[in-house]
């Protein structure tokens, strides 16, 4: 597959999903927003453009290019013995999803990586745009990790493209402020991470932040014991964000970029006021 074709599929699919979810959020919002769109979207979408430029500049051959090369050279576990194509695609997809789960846990547990990832968590509301808000360095590291998995496992190119498209869509879906009936959420979250499931991960309470790491398939959290069904304060009343970076000025694009290299000057003032539990600085 042409790299340009791959890019058009990805960008086109992402745009459709984004618009559909943004519309859903307006028609049926799950919870009232603290800050709202006007103040957050320019930065959250600005960072997406930066991320796209950086990944294209630094890593001209994306994961899918490596997948094609790996297949030609016979690299990776799946290329050692011949498997049916559908099974290779399925195993490649699952391997990538497990790797993304493990990477997410690592970004929470390793202090240096947490500095990069906490920018995603510092959003004071959670909606479809939050699903695209990642620090450029995290995006580059994540792309390198994906490339390593593709080479080690020998993930077929079609599985890599499918995974990228699905992950982009599910990330926007599970961050959206779209309301879904409880009975439907219960069924959907058996197959894919729902907004109610991922919102727990954006709670200001640390034990909730450190749960529901899955972006795509919800099973890893259940297997590895990091699953938490609902936020203890309820979806309408829970506080979104971190104990640090609560000043709305931190939602500016330049602030997002520098957050990993700064400590929050206002942390001592704002943190204790939020909720009873947190206190432990991170
Ligand atoms: Zn996280
Ligand atoms: Zn998130």
Q: Read off the pLDDT of residues 140-175 as tens digits, 9 standing for 90 and up.
A: 999 889 999 999 998 998 898 889 889 989 999 999
Give the percent of the chain with pLDDT over 70: 91
Instruction: Give the span between the Cα atoms of 162 and 146, in whole angstroms.
Output: 13
218 alpha carbon – ligand 2 mean position (Å): 14
Pick the ligand that lies closest to the CA of residue 175: 2
**Using CA atoms in the order 250, 122, 101, 56, what is the torsion angle rounded to 10 degrees?**
-10
Confidence of residue 268 (pLDDT cuts 50, 70, 90): low
Ligand nearest to the CA of 44: 2
Say how many Å lie between the CA of residue 103 and the centre of ligand 1: 10
Ligand nearest to the CA of 200: 2
pLDDT band at 60 (very low <50, low <70, confident <90, very high): low
Among all bound ligands, the one having the nearest atom to the CA of 215 is 2
Ligand nearest to the CA of residue 118, numbered in listed order = 1
- Per-residue pLDDT tens for 68-93? 888 888 888 888 888 898 999 999 99
182 pLDDT above the threshold of 90? yes
Q: Determine the angle formed by the axes of helices 136-153 and 37-58, rounding to 10 degrees.
A: 50
Q: What is the mean pLDDT of the chain?
A: 89
């Amino acid at each position: 597959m042409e790299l340009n074709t791959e890019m058009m599929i990805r960008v086109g699919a992402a745009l459709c999903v984004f618009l559909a979810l943004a519309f859903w959020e307006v028609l049926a919002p799950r919870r009232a927003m603290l800050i709202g769109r006007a103040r957050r979207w320019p930065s959250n979408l600005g960072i997406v453009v930066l991320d796209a430029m950086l990944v294209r500049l630094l890593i001209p051959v994306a994961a899918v290019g490596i997948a094609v090369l790996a297949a030609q050279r016979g690299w990776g576990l799946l290329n050692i013995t011949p498997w049916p194509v559908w099974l290779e695609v399925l195993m490649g997809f699952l391997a990538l999803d497990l790797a993304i789960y493990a990477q997410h846990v690592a970004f929470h547990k390793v202090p240096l990586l947490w500095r990069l990832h906490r920018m995603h968590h510092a959003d004071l509301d959670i909606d479809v745009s939050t699903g695209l808000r990642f620090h450029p360095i995290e995006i580059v590291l994540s792309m390198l990790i994906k490339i390593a998995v593709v080479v080690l496992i020998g993930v077929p190119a079609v599985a890599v493209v499918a995974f990228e498209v699905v992950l982009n869509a599910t990330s926007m879906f599970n961050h959206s402020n779209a309301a879904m009936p409880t009975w439907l959420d219960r069924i959907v979250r058996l197959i894919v991470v729902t907004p109610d499931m991922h919102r727990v991960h954006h709670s200001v309470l640390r034990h909730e932040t450190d749960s529901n790491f899955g972006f795509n398939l919800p099973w890893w959290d259940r297997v590895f014991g990091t699953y938490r069904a609902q936020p203890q304060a309820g979806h309408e009343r829970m506080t979104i964000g971190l104990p640090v970076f609560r000043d709305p000025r931190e939602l500016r694009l330049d602030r997002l970029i520098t957050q990993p290299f700064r400590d929050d000057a206002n942390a001592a003032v704002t943190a204790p006021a939020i909720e009873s539990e947190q206190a432990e600085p991170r």
